[in-house]
Amino acid sequence: MAHFTKATSVKDWLNQRLAIDTVEKVMASEYWIPKNINFLWAMGMVLVITFAFLVVSGIFLLMYYVPTVEGAFYSVNYTIMREVDFGWLWRHVHGVAASVVFLIIYIHMFTGIYYGSYKKGREMIWISGMLLFVAFSTEAFSGYMLPWGQMSYWAGMVITNLFAGGSLHADGLVEWIRGDYVPSQAFIGRFFMLHVLLVPLAIIGLIGLHFAALRIPHVNNQDGEEIDFEAESKKYLDGDKKGSKVMRFANDFMSKDMMVVGIYLVFFFYLVFFHYGFAMDPVNFDPADGLKTPAHIYPEWYFLWSYEILRPFNIDLGLILFGFAQVIFIFLPFLDRSPNTCAANRRGVAFKVWFWLMLSNMIVLTAMGKLPPEGVFSQIGLVAAIVFVAQWIALPFITAKEKKV
Amino acid sequence: MENSSRRGFMGKAFGAVAAVGAVGSLVAMKKTWDPLPSVKAAGFTTLDMSNYVEGVMVTEKWRGKPIFVLKKSAEVMEREKGNAAAEARNIKIGNDNFMVAIGLCTHLGCIPAFRKDTNDFLCACHGGMFDASGLVTQVPPPRGFDIPPFKIEGNTLVLGEVGPEWQAMKDNGVTL
């Protein structure tokens, strides 16, 4: 049996049993972070805090929400909004956070692309991150069903119809997913379960994987410099804090992180209290009606770019390209053949153009996805969708030709 | 050696037991998500076809889906003459001619709106258009409106039951 001695303090007692000193070093005080970073490195912590807000507000909403066809709409729009004290706060925090979390995810993603943070041993960070994006998308979609308004119902109808696979006509699969011919009680029940249990469990597991994937290769820095963390941390611990290229995760880096989080939270609560409307579609304040399609169905803003890739083509090609757009980002570490790990602007003209075109094209796709599919907007959407696909096909070729910087 | 082969056997035996259990539980999970018997049993709708007025589009309901019923005027029938695809979709009850179809866009399932003045359907979601017999006039929809299984019984139409007229349409590829 392991040898235990009489504890000299509570901390010593715990230390003998849980090795809390070692854990604290590995996770915090001797988890080394490069100094050469900027505020964009705080987006991970911003996401953690936003997820925490979603969980806490979700717990309070869960206590009054009723997952039935008859009860769902009124439990949200009457019970929670009018009867429950501060019910509006939880709903607006939940809705705003669900929308803003995607804004931060996109910033986090494009930061990673810009600085090459998916390369040289950091591939698993990127892959686990993209799996988190998929899980968050599922969570957002299943949550959007729950108020059971017109947009909930018709988004549910349209998205589940995607699983018929176009000309494959897998209507049996669609009916299986819905548990009925159209979205109804079985549908609301299973999406409620997914939203409050299964998908959050997956998200929490993936967050663990995402953090674990970061611990060994360490976080990237502004110049993509390969840092000898052993040597630099030794320098730091030996007293040369100024000369070392690294700092402690806690409390040094955390203090800066939380500074950014603080600024973000001011912005976040400004939205919650004064501008929550953008996260609450007016059409969804009509109860679901299976015999009346809203005049114009569109997803929330964070899905618009991929929706716009689906829209301009016939159903089969549209579905194939939509599927392509959903999965292609995950392969980025393997499609980028360049030997360089540094800021996109310094990797030569080709990748510099690729990066900024990708970013601006996704903004164009997002804008076109929101507009009705008519006239010049259809044309712009079609061109933007083709450019998106072409850029990914071109990526391995232009990066393979890149010169070592 | 003796140990490792014993362990190998135990490992395989456990693997076999676990595989049977896994397959069994997958079957149970799949079946739990199937539409319930009560849902399937409620899948029939009977329409009295003598109630409809020429040129007025009426939306009925079958299995929670909208069903478009349009009694066609002589003028529409005249225009359809010679158009084999449109004639194949026509449903004749007594002396009256009808378009009966599932009122969901075959693209992604939105409900197209009937436009009385142009006598056609426009889907607001992605701009698809259908004519008065349910055929596509503007993509993205990949095919005309689907026609629900029906059986003609005198002056009534039973949706959800397969009659010879519908079976013929299905066999000829007129509907899915």
What CATH number is associated with residue B58? 2.102.10.10
A31-297: CATH number: 1.20.810.10
Which residues of B fall within a CB distance of 8 Å from A379? none
Beta strands A32-34 and B156-159 are unpaired
Tell whether A313 is within 8 A of chain B (Cβ): yes
Q: What are phi and psi of B136, to 5 degrees?
A: -75, 130
Tell whether A291 is within 8 A of chain B (Cβ): yes
- Checking if the pLDDT of A367 tops 60, the result is yes
User: Where would I find the H helices in B33-139?
Assistant: 37-41, 74-80, 84-89
Of A176, A184, A314, the CB nearest to B64: A184
| Coil, helix or strand at residue A59 | helix
CA distance A281 to A388: 28
Which residues of A fall within a CB distance of 8 Å from B113? 293
CA distance A146 to A124: 33
Residue the block writes with tokens 């809705």: A95
CA-based nearest residue to B133, from B101, B173, B166, B176: B101
Tell whether A218 is within 8 A of chain B (Cβ): no
At CA A169, angle to CA A168 and CA A174, rounded to 5?
120
Torsion of the alpha carbons at A132, A136, A142 and A148, rounded to the nearest 10: 180
A293–chain B nearest CA distance, Å? 5
pLDDT score of B125: 79
- Checking if the pLDDT of A384 tops 80, the result is yes
Contact yes or no for A373 and B176 at CB 8 A: no
| Coil, helix or strand at residue B58 | strand
**Nearest residue of chain A to residue B66 (CA atoms):** A291
* B104: its two tokens: 């969901």
* A263: its two tokens: 């600024």
Asked if A112 and A127 touch (Cβ cutoff 8 Å), the reply is: no
Which residues of B fall within a CB distance of 8 Å from A193? none
Tell whether B58 is within 8 A of chain A (Cβ): no
| B145 and B69 both lie in a single domain | yes
| B12 and B69 both lie in a single domain | no
Residue with the bigger pLDDT between B60 and A284: it is: A284
**Nearest residue of chain B to residue A293 (CA atoms):** B111
| Coil, helix or strand at residue A50 | helix
Average pLDDT over residues A112-121: 94
Average pLDDT over residues B151-169: 82
Which residues of A fall within a CB distance of 8 Å from B139? 314
Average pLDDT over residues B81-96: 78
pLDDT tens column, A67-80 = 999 999 999 999 99
- What architecture is the A298-405 domain classified under in CATH? Orthogonal Bundle (1.10)
Torsion of the alpha carbons at A356, A357, A360 and A366, rounded to the nearest 10: -140
Cβ neighbours for A76, distance < 8 A, ≥ 6 positions apart = A65, A91, A146, A147, A148
- Checking if the pLDDT of A244 tops 90, the result is yes
CA distance A54 to A140: 11
- Checking if the pLDDT of A345 tops 70, the result is yes
pLDDT score of A313: 84
| B72 and B147 both lie in a single domain | yes
**Nearest residue of chain A to residue B143 (CA atoms):** A167
B176 in a structural domain? no
| B70 and B49 both lie in a single domain | yes
Tell whether A320 is within 8 A of chain B (Cβ): no
Contact yes or no for A176 and B139 at CB 8 A: no
Average pLDDT over residues A150-164: 90
Contact yes or no for A291 and B111 at CB 8 A: yes
- Checking if the pLDDT of A92 tops 70, the result is yes
CA-based nearest residue to A351, from A296, A391, A291: A391
Q: Is the ipTM of this complex over 0.85?
A: no
Contact yes or no for A291 and B139 at CB 8 A: no
CA-based nearest residue to B174, from B151, B149, B140, B155: B149
Long-range contacts made by residues B130-135, C-beta under 8 angstroms, separation at least 24?
A: B131/B86, B132/B70, B132/B72, B132/B76, B132/B99, B133/B72, B133/B80, B133/B83, B133/B85, B133/B86, B133/B89, B133/B90, B133/B99, B134/B68, B134/B89, B134/B99, B134/B101, B135/B85, B135/B86, B135/B89
- Checking if the pLDDT of B2 tops 80, the result is no
Tell whether A176 is within 8 A of chain B (Cβ): yes
- Checking if the pLDDT of A214 tops 70, the result is yes
Residue the block writes with tokens 């709106």: B113
Q: B121 forms bridges with which residues in the sheet?
A: B114, B130
Number of other residues whose CB lies within 10 A of the CB of residue B144: 21
Please, where in chain A does CATH 1.20.810.10 lie?
Answer: 31-297
The residue segments making up the domain with residue B20 are 2-34
CA distance A297 to B141: 16
Which residues of B fall within a CB distance of 8 Å from A288? none
Please give, one letter per residue, the 3-state secondary structure of A340-368.
CCCCHHHCCHHHHHHHHHHHHHHHHHHHH
CA-based nearest residue to B147, from B86, B94, B96, B81: B86
Beta strands A32-34 and A246-248 are antiparallel
B86 in a structural domain? yes
pLDDT tens column, B106-138 = 887 788 888 877 788 888 877 788 888 888 888
| B164 and B85 both lie in a single domain | yes
Phi-psi region of A375 (alpha: psi -120 to 50; beta: other; left: phi over 0): left
pLDDT score of B3: 61
CA distance A260 to A246: 19
* A178: its two tokens: 């819905």
| B69 and B25 both lie in a single domain | no
pLDDT score of A322: 92
CA distance B107 to A166: 8
Which residues of A fall within a CB distance of 8 Å from B64? 180-182, 184, 290
| B24 and B58 both lie in a single domain | no
B120 in a structural domain? yes
How many angstroms from the chain centroid is the CA of residue B101? 8
A330–chain B nearest CA distance, Å? 27
For residue A327, the surrounding DSSP H or E stretch is helix A315-327
pLDDT tens column, A13-59 = 999 999 999 999 999 999 999 999 999 999 999 999 999 999 999 99
pLDDT score of A290: 83
Average pLDDT over residues A307-324: 88
Q: What are phi and psi of B99, to 5 degrees?
A: -105, 120
pLDDT tens column, A274-308 = 999 999 999 999 999 888 878 777 889 999 999 89
Q: What are phi and psi of B151, to 5 degrees?
A: -135, 130
Amino acid identity for residue A93 in this structure: V
Contact yes or no for B35 and A296 at CB 8 A: no
Domain count, chain B: 2
For residue B152, the surrounding DSSP H or E stretch is strand B150-153
Asked if A345 and A353 touch (Cβ cutoff 8 Å), the reply is: no
Query: Which residues of A11-81 form beta strands (DSSP E)?
Result: 32-34
Tell whether A169 is within 8 A of chain B (Cβ): yes
**pLDDT, averaged across chain B:** 83
- Checking if the pLDDT of A366 tops 90, the result is yes
Tell whether B33 is within 8 A of chain A (Cβ): yes
| B6 and B45 both lie in a single domain | no
CA-based nearest residue to A285, from A163, A389, A147, A405: A147
| B21 and B86 both lie in a single domain | no
